[in-house]
Chain A
Amino acid sequence: MEPNFVKGAKYEKWNPLFETIATFAFTPKLVTTKGAHIRDGVDLKRTMMMVIIALIPCLLFGIYNTGHWQMVAELGNRNLPFWENGLNKFWNGSLIVLPLIVVSYGVGLGIEFIFGMLRGHSLHEGFLVSGMLIPLTMPADVPLWMVGVATAFAVIIGKEIFGGTGMNIINVALTARAFLFFAYPTSMSGDKVWMAGTETTKVDGFTGSTALGDLATFMSDKPVFQNLNGFTSEYTLSESFIGMIPGSVGETSTLACLIGAGILLITGVGSLRIMASFFVGGLAMGLLLNLMGGNPYFELPAVYHLVIGSFAFGAIFMATDPVSAAQTAKGKLVYGFLGGLLAILIRVLNPAYPEGVMLAILFMNISAPIIDYYVIQGNINRRLKRIKTA
């Protein structure tokens, strides 16, 4: 088969496609030519596959959770027992989530292939992870065409114009989400989008709001709950930790995210520095707000901030994207800490954006080169100082 695709042969321009499929099925017979004669077993395919494996707990839980809240919206009963009718919920959830995944991968990989063929290289693996992250950050009720448009935007503007995998400045999956968030705000926030079927439910007065949405009302004139106790009994800490709350498809379960974090840390794919400092940053901001007090939202126990919304998901899967994060060891600590800090700051103090994690990480993506610059400059200065003292 291969001779049909080599340079000068009949199907030369389809070589990237052929190469992608061939190298997927077989590690190619490339051998070392210069330098080290042996090479480590790692390659980008395996690295990326580990991230996808780490996302599976979030995905499975997300499917179930989506099915659950769809049923809730249908019946108009927010107190529906979570673990009953499991198969049914999982099936319904699959019908909502799997199309999101298909659209995301279909559009993204299609564009990647076109760029690959234009540039004459096979598919680079970065999008395998982005394509899974995008649906997991979407509200269940988002129209499929929006997912397609957002993915196209993210892949072209967020990544390919910079040169493809490894060259992007900001996280690709978050670019997709941010694009929808600003282009179609009504489909990305509010209390109508988090549960599939909220808009069509026939139950009067039913609200599909999330924990963060409800919390944000504390900052307005018409809070949903009279005080914090009302909130904490609606969203208990353990339920929030397990993820039995409405939210974007894959983000609700801190537990599933932590299982993913375990996989990323054991295999060494995810950076412990970034994850840990992100959590510390979030906790620090939460505690600072607790100290200030004066408003129920400010007084929300800091631990709550870590388990609601997309905080854990962002810290573990988004902030750790090695391409857009800081690249130096010290830089990673600063990057993670500031990211966590900002996420909670935006979440609490800016009622226009109930969730701050996405914006915080995007902001830190853009700041990461500056952080690295100072870390590297420190190293350079140490070297210069050596000359002066010598």
Chain B
Amino acid sequence: MITEEQTNQAVAEILNSHKNEKKNLIPLLQEFQAKLGYLPKKSMQEIADFLEMPEVEVWGVATFYNQFRFVPLGKYHIRVCMGTACHLGGGKLILEALERELDIKVGETAEDGNFSLERVACIGCCMLAPVIVIGDKIYPKMTPFKVEEALIPYKQEPQSENS
């Protein structure tokens, strides 16, 4: 989790680099999320004050778009492509396999904070369908069987850190 102090500092930095114009609302939300990993409640209030608009309007815009999140992501964020080509190639089975392997539902973050799972519409790699993305790495031509294999290095890493 991010401390309040860190949040405050990040918020101030980002706000200072923008003008008080309504068209900057979405860029502000995007930069906050890029910096903080998600949009904490406090940041929404800050943006509303800065742009001199009701906080509810900021929430309205933020909740309208798929990109914005209001809970922190896992250390490894997994995106499952659910575009047409991936669907036809069995994307739903891949998603189910991930839910099984990670023991979380899509949209959730695991309790230990290691993994979070998200479905996305299309990442534009249709010729490699079905694909998943772990962090920045794209895993092409997945099968439910290969899911387990793909997760191994990520599941092992936290242990090696402890040892």
Q: Do A and B bind each other?
A: no
Query: Contact residues of A with B, CB < 8 Å?
Result: none
Query: Contact residues of B with A, CB < 8 Å?
Result: none
